[in-house]
Structure 1
Amino acid sequence: MRHWAVWVMAVVLLGTGLFFIQHSVTDAKQISSEVLNWNFKPAKDQQPADADPHYKELLKEYDGVFMGCPQDKSLYLTFDNGYENGYTKQVLDVLKEKEVPAAFFITGHYLTTETDLINRMIKEGHIVGNHSYHHPSLPEVSEERVKRELTKLKEEYKEITGEEYMPYLRPPQGKFSEESLSLSRDLGYINVFWSLAYKDWETDNQKGADYAYEQIMNRIHPGSIMLLHSVSKDNAEALGRVIDECRKQGYEFKSLDDLMMKKTMRKFHP
């Protein structure tokens, strides 16, 4: 593991608020297994998105995130990679040209079929996150299945790439429960949801780069965790223009590691 990654993980674990003490408190109460579907409430005129108060309380308790600081003009670009549709190389080319970091959440299928692309992500400084091995709804499978899904992907990722830094989890299908948040945190993961997304995953219903650009820019706000799908031709073609316009408006693209360090520092220095 890179020395900077070790340092980041130390900060993140410290920032969980003395994890083992929290864990003992969690064990003392009843944890709900109710299946929840992540959603957020977009706002107009670059005002921060919002989410259900109960969802926000759960993320706070179990150290998950869906948005950065709403006073900080930082953007966090993330992609879900369940399978390859031929556009990730183009996405990576744009990110390299523009010097923008991103996080790619991968499944087992992607890991075993797109090794070259994953190695490129690592080489070019991007984060590779866990999207589970088979993409099940985590709150709707057994605890043992959740452990297998997350552990198998991480172990094979290390075997294939030689890297073991994988602290971030994107819950498949956006489904979660208090129980799944607690369990995945116990396994060492930070659940990463989002505050910006649009219906971009339908590969037979692409509407052009201009449409993608408008959908993304209409939802931009300070602290956005942006969820895009790399199977989208529209996203790949609009990405460079999105990056340029966001920077023109004063935004900076940051990594999830940067977000977690800021979150930790705010916890100790509010």
Structure 2
Amino acid sequence: MTPLDCLYEISRPCADRADAPTVYLTFDDGPHPICTPQILDVLSEYQAPAAFFVIGVYAKAQKQILQRMIAEGHQIANHTMTHPDLSQCSVSELEDEIFTTGSTISAVCPQACLRYMRAPYGIWTQEVLKTCQRAGLVSIHWSVDPRDWDCPGVDAIVTAVLEGVRPGAVILLHDGCPPNELKAASGACIRSQTIAALAHLIPALRTRGYSISPLPQTTKGHPHVPA
């Protein structure tokens, strides 16, 4: 096992049409009480499934949002308890961050079938990957990052995704922010650009022939750093 043995792209048969390459929408750093429901509204409007990599401390307070995710056909995944740089954590801290998040999500939303984990900041180490494996989780990175967390503008987010997307692409977006950034990001919806971009992206991806699908329960991936 090497630090790059996590999924960046996913190879699987197309879910909707035999001729439609598949891509995957994923959201990190929620659930946020304002932004996440608005993102769920857009996904519902376009009948597009997504995976939400949730932070455990937020999940505790957002039971209804997690239950809505599952009820509307989305997936919930592990994004640690407090969003630390896992490369700076001890083995016991790693286990607490990953295993406690799993138990927290299961307590809040027993219907959730946890399959995937993503490391905060995309920082992977061999010990992080081993801990995920012990937790029964698949480690998943991303292959398209429009840096929406930096609020570059709606057009910039849309353009970056459409220029970087390819069959099997895992698209990284955000529906919240880490706990250490929450005060600075308080107030109005912090992911308004992401929400607006999403309403353009889903039809644009479909126009280009892509099927938007849930993350598969069994996976074949490409463990390499995307170009």
Same fold (TM over 0.5): yes
Instruction: Please name the residue that 1:184 is paired with.
Output: 132
Note closer, same or farther for the CA distance 1:212–1:253 as it changes in structure 2 (3 Å cut). same
Consecutive unaligned residues of structure 2, counting only runs of 5 or more, are: 15-20, 177-190, 222-227
Deviation digits for residues 96-128 of structure 1, max 9, x if unmatched? 121111100011222022222111101111110
TM-score, structure 2 as length reference: 0.80
Cα RMSD of the aligned pairs, angstroms, is 2.3
Note closer, same or farther for the CA distance 1:157–1:83 as it changes in structure 2 (3 Å cut). closer
SS at match of 1:185: helix
- Structure number with larger C-alpha Rg: 1
Instruction: Please name the residue that 1:140 is paired with.
Output: 88
**What is the aligned length?**
201
SS at match of 2:32: coil
Q: Moved runs in structure 1, 4+ residues, more than 6 A?
A: none
Q: Which has the higher helix share?
A: 1
In structure 1, distance between residues paired with 2:11 and 2:119: 22
1:69 aligned to which of 11, 27, 31: 11
TM-score, structure 1 as length reference: 0.68
Instruction: Please name the residue that 2:155 is paired with.
Output: 210
Which amino acid is 2:164 matched to?
A: R
Instruction: Please name the residue that 1:88 is paired with.
Output: 36
Which amino acid is 2:194 matched to?
A: N
Instruction: Please name the residue that 1:257 is paired with.
Output: 216
User: Which gives a bigger RCO, structure 1 or 2 (Cα 8 Å, sep 6+)?
Assistant: 2
**Would the aligned equivalents of 1:137 and 1:176 in 2 still touch at CA under 8 Å?**
no
Note closer, same or farther for the CA distance 1:185–1:214 as it changes in structure 2 (3 Å cut). same
Pair 1:116-2:61 in alignment: no
Instruction: Please name the residue that 1:153 is paired with.
Output: 101
Give the drift of 1:220. 1.5
In structure 2, distance between residues paired with 1:70 and 1:198: 24
SS at match of 2:81: coil
Consecutive unaligned residues of structure 1, counting only runs of 5 or more, are: 1-25, 27-53, 265-270
**Would the aligned equivalents of 1:105 and 1:131 in 2 still touch at CA under 8 Å?**
yes
SS at match of 1:104: strand
Deviation digits for residues 114-161 of structure 1, max 9, x if unmatched? 222111101111110000101122232111111111111111212222
Pair 1:220-2:220 in alignment: no
Question: Among the aligned pairs, what percent are the same residue?
Answer: 30
Pair 1:244-2:203 in alignment: yes
Which amino acid is 2:44 matched to?
A: K
In structure 1, distance between residues paired with 2:196 and 2:97: 33
